[in-house]
Amino acid sequence: MGNKTSSPGPPLTAASEECENEIQTEVNENEDNVFITHEEKSPDVTSSIETSTAVESVENASELSSPGNVLLEKSEEQDEISNEGSSSEVADQMNDPQVCLDEEHEKALIKRKFVLQELVNTERDYVRDLGYLVEGYLKLMRNEEIPVPEDLKNGKDKIVFGNIEAIYEWHRDSFCAEIEKCLEEPQRLGLLFRRYERRLNMYVVYCQNKPKSEYIVSEYLDTFFEEARQKLGHKLQLPDLLIKPVQRIMKYQLLLKDILKYTEKAGLEEEAQNLRKAVQIMHIVPKSANDMMNVGRLQGFDGKITAQGKLLQQGVLLVSDPSTGKMKERQVFLFEQIIIFSDSVGPKTQFSTPVYIYKNHIQVNKMALEEHSEDGDPTKFLLKSKDPLQAGLAFVIQGKTIEDRNEWVSNIRAILDTQLDFLRALQSPIAYQKELTKDIAWNTYTSPKSYVSTRVYEPVASLIHA
């Protein structure tokens, strides 16, 4: 299972060899059922056969009850009693649940160590690859060791490489060493990812810049960057190295899941709790990174996308065209401050990704939500703009499924509720605080109940001017 690299693996014992075979090759464990041919018989087997033949010859030679025969019979009885006792002890051990459980725990720990070793080895390889970017390409461009095109000067290197330098320095100087310590102290691993949760968000920033980087690199891939690759002596092209951070955050998720699995099998519940939280973190980070890569492909929006707050949800919905009323497929981005509708252009394949052309938007503080459409379709809802500059602008929106529609409505409702609460706090802080205290006390003695809301959410802006 491990990724073989320059670093040596853990020392192999008889037990670990068995587990390595089980992980790497999953060999059929029924080899003991193979018949032994005459040439393959061991000395012990031959000796046993000869002894048995000799005993049969003695028995057939004479039926007389000589003193020697009596002694032989008594010896055989003692051997049978001894063998029965030994077999009974082995059977008891094999049937002992505690012995079986201990063996399973030991196997799980050995397997976990192999996955930990793979985590360490691939982390070292990752730092090396990041070094190719920072110590190689980035240094070469800054020192202008070869002529750099004018379009790549004046800070364009920051668009090409994003925050890769910060990522490299953190892994090289800190995170890699912390990962290596987990080989001897596996209990540190889950806590390590929880500790650096905020730092790992630098990957979200990197991925948001990735589409712009891809565009610039593609223009000079066969010219300047190819010349740079040959001068540096690299086998991989620049795009192959720039995708490494995206691949790495996915690799963390997969390895952590395996380590969690073997930790649970080993019965180490406290460690497993921290690892579950680590797995959750490394589920959120790649998802956020992927979302922000899509945002980075949005074109034609005049505002500053980073000023729109956190991206809460993005995906494909059917949205009515304001001019024709026809339902069209749109890529929709829901931020804390705005919802943006865009058109997807170009196919999504293994080697290409679409770009998103801006079509419309509604500011959240000038937005009204109607949770039910006029035709009663359970997959639809309605958004209206109350902005005087967007008079009459409204969108009928349809999710792929009822669950999809409900998720969008729930997130939009939550934003509007938050803004409404914020407005109340500004207008009447004392009254709002009393109401909040009352709600907390009520929730202490009652359980939440599910209900279907028929409320029309009016925009906060209209309440401000009321």
Give the rounded distance of the alpha carbon of 432 from its chain centre.
Answer: 41
CATH number, domain containing residue 309:
2.30.29.30
Least confident of 35-49, 122-136, 199-213, 370-384: 35-49
Q: Which residues contact 7 (CB under 8 A, 6 or more apart)?
A: 117, 120, 121, 124
Domain shared by 178 and 310, yes or no: no
**Most confident listed range (41-45, 65-69, 376-380):** 376-380
User: 113-167 pLDDT, tens per residue?
Assistant: 999 999 999 999 999 999 999 999 999 998 889 999 988 887 777 899 999 999 9
Domain shared by 240 and 321, yes or no: no
Percent with pLDDT over 70 in the chain: 70
Domain shared by 198 and 127, yes or no: yes
The reply to whether 169 falls in a domain is yes
Domain shared by 166 and 278, yes or no: yes
The reply to whether 381 falls in a domain is yes
* Chosen domain end from 279, 296, 313: 296
Domain shared by 279 and 183, yes or no: yes
The size of the chain, in residues, is: 466
3-state DSSP call for residue 315?
strand
**How far is it, in rounded angstroms, from Cα 409 to Cα 403?**
10
The reply to whether 11 falls in a domain is no
Backbone phi and psi for residue 339, each to the nearest 5 degrees, phi listed first: -120, 130
Joined together, the tokens standing for residue 11 give: 């020392």
Give the pLDDT score at 188.
Answer: 96
Q: How many CB atoms lie within 10 A of CB 397?
A: 23
Q: Which residues contact 232 (CB under 8 A, 6 or more apart)?
A: 132, 136, 137, 140
3-state DSSP call for residue 324?
coil
CATH number, domain containing residue 135:
1.20.900.10
Domain shared by 142 and 263, yes or no: yes
The reply to whether 66 falls in a domain is no
The reply to whether 88 falls in a domain is no
Contact 123, 238 (CB under 8 A): no
User: For the chain, what is the domain count?
Assistant: 2
Single pTM value for the model: 0.65
Domain shared by 314 and 428, yes or no: yes
Contact 156, 216 (CB under 8 A): yes
Q: Which residue in 464, 456, 453 sits closest to 369, CA to CA? A: 456
Give the pLDDT score at 25.
Answer: 46
**How far is it, in rounded angstroms, from Cα 397 to Cα 342?**
13
The reply to whether 7 falls in a domain is no
Domain shared by 128 and 263, yes or no: yes
Domain shared by 324 and 424, yes or no: yes
Joined together, the tokens standing for residue 372 give: 């039910």
Range of the domain at 287: 100-296
**How far is it, in rounded angstroms, from Cα 167 to Cα 171?**
6
The reply to whether 177 falls in a domain is yes
Domain shared by 228 and 270, yes or no: yes
Match 């349809």 to its residue by tokens. Answer: 398
Q: Which residues contact 213 (CB under 8 A, 6 or more apart)?
A: 159, 160, 161, 162, 242
